[in-house]
Amino acid sequence: MSRREIQEKIRCDACPVMCYVAEGRAGACDRYANIGGKIVRCDPLTVLDQRLEQGGEITPFLKANWDGSLVNDDEIFITAVGSGTTYPDYKPAPFIVSRQYDDVDMVTVVTEAIYSYCSCKIKIDTDRHLGHEAAIVRAEGEIVGHVMTSEYGSQMLSLGGVDHLTGGSKSEGRVTCDTLMRLFNREAVELQVDDGARVVVQSGKPPIVDGVAEKRMRVGCGSATIGMFASQWKGLVDEVVVVDDHITGVVSEHQAGKVLGWPGTGIRIKGRRSTPGRYFQVAQPGLGWGGTDIVDPLVILGDWNPKKGAKPGLRLLMVSTTGEQFAYFELDDDLIPQKKPIPQDLASSVDLIAENCEPALCTVMFMGGAGGSLRAGVTQNPVRLTRSVQAFKTAVSCGGRPAYVWPGGGITIMVDVKDMPDGSFGYVPTPAIVAPLEFTLPREDYKALGGHEASIRDLREILEHGGEYGADVRAVSGKEE
What is the DSSP track for 288-347?
A: SGGGBS-SSGGGGB----GGGT--TT-EEEEEETTSSSEEEEEE-TTS-EEEEPPPHHHH
What was the pLDDT predicted at 463?
72
- Flag whether pLDDT at 465 surpasses 70: no
What was the pLDDT predicted at 26?
85
> Do strands 154-160 and 118-125 pair parallel, antiparallel, or not at all (unpaired)?
antiparallel
**Which residues, 6+ apart, have CB-to-CB distance to 434 below 8 Å?**
15, 29, 31, 85, 112, 113, 114, 115, 425, 426, 427, 428
Cα(464)–Cα(66) distance, integer angstroms: 7
pLDDT tens per residue, range 160-204: 999 999 999 999 999 999 999 999 999 999 999 999 999 999 999
Residue 326 β-bridge partners: 319
Helix (H) or strand (E) holding 107: strand 104-115
Cα(254)–Cα(248) distance, integer angstroms: 11
Helices first, then strands: H and E counts in the chain: 9, 34
The stretch 316-336 carries a mean pLDDT of: 96
Cα(116)–Cα(187) distance, integer angstroms: 21
pLDDT tens per residue, range 263-303: 999 999 999 999 999 999 999 999 899 999 999 999 999 99
What was the pLDDT predicted at 269?
96
What single letter denotes the amino acid at residue 369? G
What was the pLDDT predicted at 478?
32
Half-sphere exposure of 408 toward its Cβ, with a 13 Å CA cutoff? Answer: 4
Question: pLDDT category, 476, cuts 50, 70, 90?
Answer: very low
Q: For 18-32, 235-249, 364-378, 453-467, which range has the lowest pLDDT when averaged over its residues?
A: 453-467
**Helix (H, G, I), strand (E, B), or coil: what is residue 403?**
coil
What single letter denotes the amino acid at residue 234? K
What was the pLDDT predicted at 91?
85
Q: Considering the entire predicted model, what is its pTM?
A: 0.85
**Cis, peptide link before residue 285, omega less than 30° from 0:** no
Question: pLDDT category, 132, cuts 50, 70, 90?
Answer: very high
Cα(274)–Cα(353) distance, integer angstroms: 24
pLDDT tens per residue, range 34-90: 888 888 877 777 777 654 444 444 455 544 454 555 455 556 788 888 888 877 777
Cα(217)–Cα(362) distance, integer angstroms: 11
Query: Among the residues of 234-308, which ranges form H helices?
Result: 255-259
Give me the chain's average pLDDT, please: 87
pLDDT greater at residue 16 or residue 362: 362
What was the pLDDT predicted at 55?
47
What was the pLDDT predicted at 67?
52
- Flag whether pLDDT at 430 surpasses 50: yes
pLDDT tens per residue, range 189-246: 999 999 999 999 999 999 999 999 999 999 999 999 999 999 999 999 999 999 999 9
φ, ψ for residue 28, nearest 5 deg = -65, -20
Question: pLDDT category, 16, cuts 50, 70, 90?
Answer: confident
- Flag whether pLDDT at 133 surpasses 70: yes
Q: For 33-47, 128-142, 311-325, which range has the lowest pLDDT when averaged over its residues?
A: 33-47
